[in-house]
Protein backbone atom coordinates (compact mmCIF):
# COMPACT_ATOMS: atom_id res chain seq x y z
CA UNK A 1 0.00 0.00 0.00
CA UNK A 2 1.21 3.42 -0.91
CA UNK A 3 0.72 6.33 1.40
CA UNK A 4 -2.33 8.34 0.47
CA UNK A 5 -1.38 11.53 -1.32
CA UNK A 6 -3.27 14.78 -1.63
CA UNK A 7 -4.28 13.75 -5.14
CA UNK A 8 -5.71 10.50 -3.84
CA UNK A 9 -7.75 12.41 -1.28
CA UNK A 10 -9.09 14.66 -4.00
CA UNK A 11 -10.17 11.67 -6.08
CA UNK A 12 -11.85 10.08 -3.06
CA UNK A 13 -13.70 13.30 -2.23
CA UNK A 14 -14.91 13.63 -5.82
CA UNK A 15 -16.06 10.00 -5.84
CA UNK A 16 -18.12 10.50 -2.68
CA UNK A 17 -19.48 13.91 -3.70
CA UNK A 18 -20.77 12.50 -6.97
CA UNK A 19 -21.58 8.98 -5.81
CA UNK A 20 -23.65 9.56 -2.69
CA UNK A 21 -26.30 11.97 -4.06
CA UNK A 22 -26.63 9.85 -7.19
CA UNK A 23 -27.16 6.76 -5.10
CA UNK A 24 -29.85 8.51 -3.06
CA UNK A 25 -31.84 9.00 -6.21
CA UNK A 26 -32.44 5.23 -6.39
CA UNK A 27 -35.38 5.85 -4.04
CA UNK A 28 -37.41 7.46 -6.78
CA UNK A 29 -36.40 4.74 -9.22
CA UNK A 30 -37.67 2.06 -6.83
CA UNK A 31 -40.91 3.94 -6.29
CA UNK A 32 -41.51 4.65 -9.99
CA UNK A 33 -40.72 1.07 -11.01
CA UNK A 34 -43.18 -0.46 -8.57
CA UNK A 35 -45.93 2.16 -8.66
CA UNK A 36 -45.57 3.57 -12.15
CA UNK A 37 -44.62 0.50 -14.17
CA UNK A 38 -46.20 -2.05 -11.86
CA UNK A 39 -43.05 -4.16 -11.46
CA UNK A 40 -42.70 -6.24 -8.29
CA UNK A 41 -39.90 -5.80 -5.74
CA UNK A 42 -37.72 -8.54 -7.23
CA UNK A 43 -37.99 -7.25 -10.80
CA UNK A 44 -37.13 -3.76 -9.59
CA UNK A 45 -34.10 -5.10 -7.69
CA UNK A 46 -32.87 -7.08 -10.70
CA UNK A 47 -32.92 -3.90 -12.79
CA UNK A 48 -30.69 -2.08 -10.31
CA UNK A 49 -28.43 -5.12 -9.71
CA UNK A 50 -27.99 -6.26 -13.31
CA UNK A 51 -28.87 -3.39 -15.64
CA UNK A 52 -27.32 -0.78 -13.32
CA UNK A 53 -27.47 2.29 -15.52
CA UNK A 54 -29.88 4.90 -14.22
CA UNK A 55 -31.00 6.51 -17.47
CA UNK A 56 -31.86 3.17 -19.04
CA UNK A 57 -33.65 1.99 -15.92
CA UNK A 58 -35.80 5.11 -15.84
CA UNK A 59 -36.43 4.88 -19.58
CA UNK A 60 -37.55 1.26 -19.28
CA UNK A 61 -39.97 1.82 -16.42
CA UNK A 62 -41.08 5.15 -17.91
CA UNK A 63 -42.15 3.55 -21.18
CA UNK A 64 -43.76 0.61 -19.37
CA UNK A 65 -45.59 3.04 -17.09
CA UNK A 66 -46.93 4.99 -20.06
CA UNK A 67 -47.67 2.15 -22.46
CA UNK A 68 -47.99 -0.97 -20.37
CA UNK A 69 -46.32 -4.31 -21.08
CA UNK A 70 -47.35 -4.22 -24.73
CA UNK A 71 -44.94 -1.33 -25.24
CA UNK A 72 -42.01 -3.64 -24.37
CA UNK A 73 -40.15 -3.30 -27.69
CA UNK A 74 -39.98 0.47 -27.26
CA UNK A 75 -39.12 0.05 -23.58
CA UNK A 76 -36.19 -2.26 -24.31
CA UNK A 77 -35.05 -0.16 -27.28
CA UNK A 78 -35.16 3.05 -25.24
CA UNK A 79 -33.14 1.42 -22.46
CA UNK A 80 -30.62 0.12 -25.00
CA UNK A 81 -30.30 3.47 -26.76
CA UNK A 82 -29.75 5.30 -23.50
CA UNK A 83 -27.30 2.59 -22.44
CA UNK A 84 -25.33 2.90 -25.65
CA UNK A 85 -23.29 5.76 -24.23
CA UNK A 86 -21.89 3.33 -21.66
CA UNK A 87 -20.21 1.51 -24.56
CA UNK A 88 -18.42 4.73 -25.38
CA UNK A 89 -17.49 5.25 -21.72
CA UNK A 90 -16.14 1.69 -21.71
CA UNK A 91 -13.92 2.46 -24.67
CA UNK A 92 -12.59 5.48 -22.82
CA UNK A 93 -12.10 3.58 -19.54
CA UNK A 94 -10.51 0.54 -21.17
CA UNK A 95 -6.87 1.71 -20.89
CA UNK A 96 -7.46 2.96 -17.32
CA UNK A 97 -8.77 -0.41 -16.15
CA UNK A 98 -5.91 -2.42 -17.65
CA UNK A 99 -5.76 -6.16 -18.36
CA UNK A 100 -7.39 -9.17 -16.67
CA UNK A 101 -10.73 -10.73 -17.58
CA UNK A 102 -12.36 -10.62 -14.13
CA UNK A 103 -11.27 -7.06 -13.53
CA UNK A 104 -12.53 -5.90 -16.93
CA UNK A 105 -15.85 -7.72 -16.46
CA UNK A 106 -16.35 -6.05 -13.08
CA UNK A 107 -15.34 -2.70 -14.55
CA UNK A 108 -17.82 -3.17 -17.39
CA UNK A 109 -20.61 -3.53 -14.86
CA UNK A 110 -19.60 -0.32 -13.07
CA UNK A 111 -19.12 1.71 -16.25
CA UNK A 112 -21.70 4.50 -15.91
CA UNK A 113 -21.89 8.29 -16.21
CA UNK A 114 -20.60 8.98 -12.72
CA UNK A 115 -17.66 6.55 -12.52
CA UNK A 116 -16.44 7.64 -15.95
CA UNK A 117 -16.84 11.33 -15.17
CA UNK A 118 -14.98 11.20 -11.85
CA UNK A 119 -12.22 9.05 -13.34
CA UNK A 120 -11.81 11.28 -16.39
CA UNK A 121 -11.43 14.32 -14.18
CA UNK A 122 -8.33 12.89 -12.43
CA UNK A 123 -4.79 13.50 -13.63
CA UNK A 124 -2.77 10.37 -12.88
CA UNK A 125 -3.53 6.76 -13.78
CA UNK A 126 -3.61 5.85 -10.09
CA UNK A 127 -6.19 8.50 -9.18
CA UNK A 128 -8.16 7.75 -12.34
CA UNK A 129 -8.43 4.16 -11.10
CA UNK A 130 -9.40 5.26 -7.59
CA UNK A 131 -12.03 7.59 -9.05
CA UNK A 132 -13.51 4.91 -11.26
CA UNK A 133 -13.71 2.07 -8.75
CA UNK A 134 -14.72 4.09 -5.71
CA UNK A 135 -17.44 6.04 -7.53
CA UNK A 136 -18.69 2.87 -9.22
CA UNK A 137 -18.85 0.93 -5.95
CA UNK A 138 -20.41 3.76 -3.93
CA UNK A 139 -23.13 4.23 -6.53
CA UNK A 140 -23.64 0.47 -6.95
CA UNK A 141 -24.08 -0.31 -3.26
CA UNK A 142 -26.03 2.88 -2.54
CA UNK A 143 -28.23 2.70 -5.62
CA UNK A 144 -29.26 -0.88 -4.86
CA UNK A 145 -30.03 -0.12 -1.22
CA UNK A 146 -32.10 2.93 -2.09
CA UNK A 147 -33.89 1.03 -4.86
CA UNK A 148 -35.19 -1.43 -2.26
CA UNK A 149 -36.18 1.41 0.08
CA UNK A 150 -37.99 3.21 -2.75
CA UNK A 151 -39.77 0.07 -3.89
CA UNK A 152 -40.97 -0.71 -0.35
CA UNK A 153 -41.83 2.87 0.66
CA UNK A 154 -43.41 3.48 -2.73
CA UNK A 155 -45.96 0.85 -1.88
CA UNK A 156 -46.87 2.67 1.30
CA UNK A 157 -46.94 6.08 -0.38
CA UNK A 158 -49.62 5.21 -2.90
CA UNK A 159 -49.89 7.62 -5.82
CA UNK A 160 -46.37 8.95 -6.54
CA UNK A 161 -47.56 11.99 -8.44
CA UNK A 162 -49.11 13.43 -5.27
CA UNK A 163 -45.54 13.58 -3.90
CA UNK A 164 -44.17 15.10 -7.07
CA UNK A 165 -42.00 12.11 -7.95
CA UNK A 166 -42.90 12.43 -11.62
CA UNK A 167 -41.57 15.99 -11.56
CA UNK A 168 -38.52 14.76 -9.63
CA UNK A 169 -37.73 12.33 -12.45
CA UNK A 170 -37.99 15.10 -15.03
CA UNK A 171 -35.71 17.28 -12.88
CA UNK A 172 -33.19 14.45 -12.55
CA UNK A 173 -33.05 13.99 -16.32
CA UNK A 174 -32.61 17.73 -16.61
CA UNK A 175 -29.71 17.52 -14.17
CA UNK A 176 -27.98 14.94 -16.35
CA UNK A 177 -28.65 17.01 -19.45
CA UNK A 178 -27.65 20.42 -18.05
CA UNK A 179 -23.84 20.10 -18.19
CA UNK A 180 -24.09 18.86 -21.79
CA UNK A 181 -25.80 22.04 -23.03
CA UNK A 182 -22.73 24.24 -23.25
CA UNK A 183 -22.51 24.24 -27.03
CA UNK A 184 -25.05 25.66 -29.46
CA UNK A 185 -25.29 22.36 -31.32
CA UNK A 186 -26.23 20.46 -28.17
CA UNK A 187 -28.80 23.12 -27.26
CA UNK A 188 -30.36 22.88 -30.72
CA UNK A 189 -30.48 19.08 -30.53
CA UNK A 190 -32.08 19.20 -27.06
CA UNK A 191 -34.79 21.65 -28.10
CA UNK A 192 -35.52 19.80 -31.35
CA UNK A 193 -35.62 16.39 -29.65
CA UNK A 194 -37.90 17.62 -26.86
CA UNK A 195 -40.22 19.19 -29.44
CA UNK A 196 -40.30 16.11 -31.69
CA UNK A 197 -40.98 13.78 -28.76
CA UNK A 198 -43.89 15.88 -27.45
CA UNK A 199 -45.33 16.43 -30.92
CA UNK A 200 -45.37 12.71 -31.74
CA UNK A 201 -46.74 11.55 -28.39
CA UNK A 202 -50.44 11.69 -29.37
CA UNK A 203 -49.88 9.92 -32.70
CA UNK A 204 -47.27 7.22 -32.08
CA UNK A 205 -47.13 4.17 -29.81
CA UNK A 206 -45.64 5.03 -26.38
CA UNK A 207 -41.84 4.83 -26.49
CA UNK A 208 -41.53 5.49 -30.20
CA UNK A 209 -41.46 9.31 -29.86
CA UNK A 210 -38.22 9.00 -27.89
CA UNK A 211 -36.65 6.86 -30.58
CA UNK A 212 -37.69 9.23 -33.36
CA UNK A 213 -36.30 12.10 -31.29
CA UNK A 214 -33.00 10.19 -31.21
CA UNK A 215 -32.84 10.54 -34.99
CA UNK A 216 -32.41 14.28 -34.44
CA UNK A 217 -29.04 13.49 -32.87
CA UNK A 218 -28.04 11.22 -35.73
CA UNK A 219 -28.97 13.94 -38.23
CA UNK A 220 -27.04 16.68 -36.42
CA UNK A 221 -24.15 14.32 -35.69
CA UNK A 222 -23.75 13.13 -39.28
CA UNK A 223 -23.93 16.60 -40.83
CA UNK A 224 -22.36 18.49 -37.91
CA UNK A 225 -25.05 21.10 -38.42
CA UNK A 226 -24.44 24.12 -36.12
CA UNK A 227 -21.33 22.29 -34.93
CA UNK A 228 -18.91 25.00 -35.98
CA UNK A 229 -15.34 23.89 -36.33
CA UNK A 230 -14.29 20.34 -35.84
CA UNK A 231 -13.69 19.83 -32.15
CA UNK A 232 -13.21 16.18 -31.34
CA UNK A 233 -12.60 17.23 -27.74
CA UNK A 234 -16.20 18.38 -27.57
CA UNK A 235 -17.22 14.74 -27.58
CA UNK A 236 -15.77 14.08 -24.17
CA UNK A 237 -18.97 15.17 -22.49
CA UNK A 238 -19.02 14.52 -18.79
CA UNK A 239 -22.47 13.62 -17.51
CA UNK B 1 -43.56 -11.25 -22.98
CA UNK B 2 -43.96 -11.15 -19.23
CA UNK B 3 -42.54 -8.36 -17.08
CA UNK B 4 -39.71 -10.75 -16.16
CA UNK B 5 -38.78 -11.29 -19.81
CA UNK B 6 -38.64 -7.53 -20.39
CA UNK B 7 -36.59 -6.91 -17.25
CA UNK B 8 -34.05 -9.63 -18.06
CA UNK B 9 -33.80 -8.87 -21.77
CA UNK B 10 -33.24 -5.14 -21.19
CA UNK B 11 -30.75 -5.83 -18.38
CA UNK B 12 -28.70 -8.21 -20.52
CA UNK B 13 -28.71 -5.80 -23.48
CA UNK B 14 -27.52 -2.93 -21.26
CA UNK B 15 -24.75 -5.01 -19.70
CA UNK B 16 -23.77 -6.24 -23.15
CA UNK B 17 -23.35 -2.65 -24.34
CA UNK B 18 -20.98 -1.89 -21.47
CA UNK B 19 -18.97 -5.07 -22.12
CA UNK B 20 -18.85 -4.34 -25.83
CA UNK B 21 -16.95 -1.12 -25.21
CA UNK B 22 -14.09 -3.05 -23.59
CA UNK B 23 -13.79 -5.20 -26.74
CA UNK B 24 -13.76 -2.36 -29.27
CA UNK B 25 -10.44 -0.97 -30.46
CA UNK B 26 -10.15 2.54 -29.03
CA UNK B 27 -9.30 4.25 -32.31
CA UNK B 28 -12.69 3.58 -33.94
CA UNK B 29 -14.79 5.78 -31.67
CA UNK B 30 -12.23 8.55 -31.49
CA UNK B 31 -13.12 9.62 -35.00
CA UNK B 32 -15.15 12.84 -34.85
CA UNK B 33 -18.40 11.77 -36.51
CA UNK B 34 -19.24 8.63 -34.45
CA UNK B 35 -18.09 10.37 -31.28
CA UNK B 36 -20.27 13.39 -32.00
CA UNK B 37 -23.29 11.21 -32.81
CA UNK B 38 -23.07 9.29 -29.57
CA UNK B 39 -22.64 12.49 -27.62
CA UNK B 40 -25.65 14.14 -29.25
CA UNK B 41 -27.64 10.93 -28.87
CA UNK B 42 -27.40 11.27 -25.11
CA UNK B 43 -28.53 14.90 -25.33
CA UNK B 44 -31.48 14.04 -27.62
CA UNK B 45 -32.64 11.12 -25.49
CA UNK B 46 -32.46 13.04 -22.23
CA UNK B 47 -34.27 16.02 -23.77
CA UNK B 48 -37.00 13.76 -25.17
CA UNK B 49 -37.43 12.05 -21.81
CA UNK B 50 -37.66 15.39 -20.00
CA UNK B 51 -40.26 16.53 -22.51
CA UNK B 52 -42.39 13.40 -22.06
CA UNK B 53 -41.93 13.33 -18.31
CA UNK B 54 -43.14 16.94 -18.21
CA UNK B 55 -45.96 17.03 -20.77
CA UNK B 56 -47.18 13.49 -21.45
CA UNK B 57 -49.93 11.73 -19.60
CA UNK B 58 -50.34 8.44 -21.42
CA UNK B 59 -50.67 9.55 -25.02
CA UNK B 60 -52.10 12.94 -24.13
CA UNK B 61 -50.19 16.19 -23.75
CA UNK B 62 -51.18 18.08 -20.61
CA UNK B 63 -50.02 21.17 -18.76
CA UNK B 64 -49.99 20.51 -15.03
CA UNK B 65 -47.88 20.94 -11.88
CA UNK B 66 -44.91 19.25 -13.54
CA UNK B 67 -44.11 22.21 -15.81
CA UNK B 68 -43.56 24.78 -13.01
CA UNK B 69 -41.56 22.15 -11.13
CA UNK B 70 -39.26 21.59 -14.10
CA UNK B 71 -38.88 25.35 -14.65
CA UNK B 72 -37.87 25.76 -11.00
CA UNK B 73 -35.41 22.89 -11.45
CA UNK B 74 -33.90 24.58 -14.52
CA UNK B 75 -33.49 27.84 -12.59
CA UNK B 76 -31.81 26.01 -9.70
CA UNK B 77 -29.47 24.09 -12.02
CA UNK B 78 -28.54 27.43 -13.60
CA UNK B 79 -27.64 28.65 -10.10
CA UNK B 80 -25.45 25.52 -9.64
CA UNK B 81 -27.54 24.14 -6.81
CA UNK B 82 -26.55 20.48 -6.12
CA UNK B 83 -28.35 17.76 -8.05
CA UNK B 84 -30.19 16.10 -5.17
CA UNK B 85 -31.42 19.42 -3.74
CA UNK B 86 -32.87 20.39 -7.12
CA UNK B 87 -34.60 17.03 -7.51
CA UNK B 88 -36.19 17.35 -4.07
CA UNK B 89 -37.18 20.97 -4.76
CA UNK B 90 -38.87 19.93 -8.01
CA UNK B 91 -40.81 17.22 -6.19
CA UNK B 92 -41.88 19.69 -3.51
CA UNK B 93 -43.06 22.29 -6.05
CA UNK B 94 -45.18 19.72 -7.90
CA UNK B 95 -46.52 18.20 -4.68
CA UNK B 96 -47.27 21.68 -3.27
CA UNK B 97 -49.20 22.79 -6.33
CA UNK B 98 -51.18 19.55 -6.35
CA UNK B 99 -51.97 19.87 -2.65
CA UNK B 100 -53.26 23.42 -3.16
CA UNK B 101 -55.33 22.86 -6.30
CB of B17 within 8 A of CB of A79?
A: no
Q: Which among A52, A78, A164 has CB closest to B91?
A: A164
CA closest to A179 among chain B residues: B77
Whole-angstrom distance, CA of residue A152 vs CA of residue A148:
6
Query: Which spans in A25-164 are helix H?
Result: 26-31, 41-46, 54-67, 72-97, 101-109, 113-120, 125-157
- Cβ within 8 Å, pair B98-A38: no
Per domain, the residue ranges of chain A are 6-176, 181-239
- Cβ within 8 Å, pair B82-A21: yes
Query: pLDDT 10s per residue in chain A (239 long)?
Result: 556 788 899 889 888 877 887 787 788 889 889 988 889 999 999 999 999 998 899 889 988 988 889 889 989 998 998 888 788 789 878 889 988 999 999 999 999 988 988 888 788 999 999 999 999 999 999 999 999 999 998 767 666 667 787 788 788 778 878 888 999 999 999 999 999 999 999 998 766 788 788 889 989 998 998 887 544 444 443 44
CA closest to A77 among chain B residues: B10
Residues of chain B positioned with their CB less than 8 A from the CB of A59? 45, 49
Q: Which among A85, A178, A235 has CB closest to B77?
A: A178
What is the phi-psi region of residue A158: left when phi exceeds 0, alpha when psi lies from -120 to 50, beta otherwise? left
Distance from CA of B5 to the nearest CA of A (A): 9
CB of B43 within 8 A of CB of B50?
A: no
Q: How many CB atoms lie within 10 A of CB A45?
A: 18
B56: part of which helix (H) or strand (E)? Answer: strand B56-57
Single pTM value for the model: 0.70
ipTM of predicted assembly, 2 dp: 0.83
- Cβ within 8 Å, pair A80-B13: yes
Q: Which among A40, A92, A167 has CB closest to B70?
A: A167
Residue A237's Cα: distance from chain center in Å? 13
Amino acid sequence: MKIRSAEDTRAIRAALAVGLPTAAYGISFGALATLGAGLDLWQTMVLSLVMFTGGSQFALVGVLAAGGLSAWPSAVASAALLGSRNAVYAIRMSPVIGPGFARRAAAAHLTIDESTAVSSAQKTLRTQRIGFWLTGLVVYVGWNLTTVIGAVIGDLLGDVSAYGLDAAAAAAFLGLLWPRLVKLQAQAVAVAAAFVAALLTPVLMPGLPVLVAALVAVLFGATNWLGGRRTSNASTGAP
Amino acid sequence: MTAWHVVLLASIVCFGLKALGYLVPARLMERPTPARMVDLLTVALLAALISLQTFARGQELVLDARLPAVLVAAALFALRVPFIVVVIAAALVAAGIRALT
